[in-house]
Amino acid sequence: MSDKIPLSRYAAAGYGAIIAVLGLGVPTAYAGQTLSLQALRALVLPAKPPIPADNPMTPAKVALGKELFFDPRLSSTGTISCDSCHNVMGDGTDNRKFAQGVDGRLDTDRSTPTVFNAAFLSVQFWDGRAASLEAQAKGPLLNHKEMGMPNGAAVAARIQAIPGYRAQFKRVFKGAHPVTFDNITKAIATYERTLITPNSPFDRYARGDKDAISPAARKGFMLVQQVGCTSCHSGPLFNGPQMPMGQGFFMKFPIYTNNKYVAEYHLMAHLGRYQVTHNPADKHLWVVQSWRNVALLAPYFNNGSVNTLSQAVRVMAKVQLDKTLTPVQVRDIVAFLDTLTGQFPHQTMPRLPSTENTALVMSHE
């Protein structure tokens, strides 16, 4: 098998952005309109995500985190779990425009991102306000529109009241008082680090299997480079350069505002990163989103305003690059994006620890 994958003359130029970001240098065959297999293999999804030194993974902690992830008793009303919005029996999201939390409240600020492959992201949330999965897990628990708990102490008290959890926390975290808010979110984050989707058709193509993706998808792969999409969507997650954990890669969205899409889809209704930093320079800055599994993650954008991937491609080309794509170009790019759907790990519902001879009191009861 040849170790070169041919590119169009336009794609070779466009791919320079990815090569530069990855720090691979320009392969010797680059001038001959080919891309080295070494450079292409750098786009394969890694087999394992980064693991923080202060939260090592163990099977017992993964199992505990999974139970907590599925347990609606972590919400104020006992009705909403992490899985309610991040459905791991599906694609890790709720496929809704806005998430629905306790008492039917809608989180009208954001559409729910997927939890699959979130372990690879250097920051969490659309605006990058959480520096880790552990920090992200605290947000929905305490958000009054989501799980609605008043504070971390209340979350810990709820779990402490369940005998089975007390025993598990003692085994996993040790210490005199192991049921803490921090340990709860550490366990949830540990389970979430198992939710990765490797071996997509594109990954197989990047390893050298030229037949793993269709001719249309190969054209789409060239087009995203030629058009300029990869100036932001680079690297193995196709979400920009790999940043140190806690540091985000942000981009203004929208850049070009003199078009019909900005008003039609309310793309300037939210201020993005500015709402975290209150720095005027951060208005409309957002974390660049991964293309991994993007075919499954409709509706699209931070406000869930676009229902189809083909329309999302048209909108992004216009508002970010000021380019109008032809129907054939859109079709080929979507064909490429479809190849980024990976293999989802098999999930089963856990049995949750029970209470005996008593009930947990929820809010409004």
Are 94 and 87 a contacting pair, CB within 8 Å?
A: yes
Secondary element (H or E) of residue 159? helix 152-160
Side-chain-side CA neighbours of residue 224 (13 Å) = 24
Q: Which two tokens stand for residue 57?
A: 């993974």
Q: Is 356 among the residues known to form the active site?
A: no
Phi-psi region of 7 (alpha: psi -120 to 50; beta: other; left: phi over 0): beta
What does the longest C-alpha to C-alpha distance in the chain come to? 75
DSSP string, 182-207: HHHHHHHHHHHTT------HHHHHHT
| Pairing label, strands 4-6, 34-36 | antiparallel
Contacts of 97 (CB under 8 A, 6+ apart): 111, 299, 303, 304, 305
Q: How far apart are CA 99 and CA 218, in angstroms?
A: 35
**Residue of 134, 146, 264, 356 marked active site:** 146
Contacts of 175 (CB under 8 A, 6+ apart): none
For 118, 195, 326, 339, the CA distances from 48, given in Å and listed in that order, are 12, 10, 38, 20
Q: How far apart are CA 166 and CA 350, in angstroms?
A: 17
Q: Which two tokens stand for residue 226?
A: 């030629």
Secondary element (H or E) of residue 336? helix 327-338
Are 81 and 75 a contacting pair, CB within 8 Å?
A: yes
> What burial letters (b/e) apply to 294-316, b meaning 16+ CB within 10 Å?
bbbbbbbbbbbbbeebbbbbbbb
Q: Which residues are catalytic?
A: 146
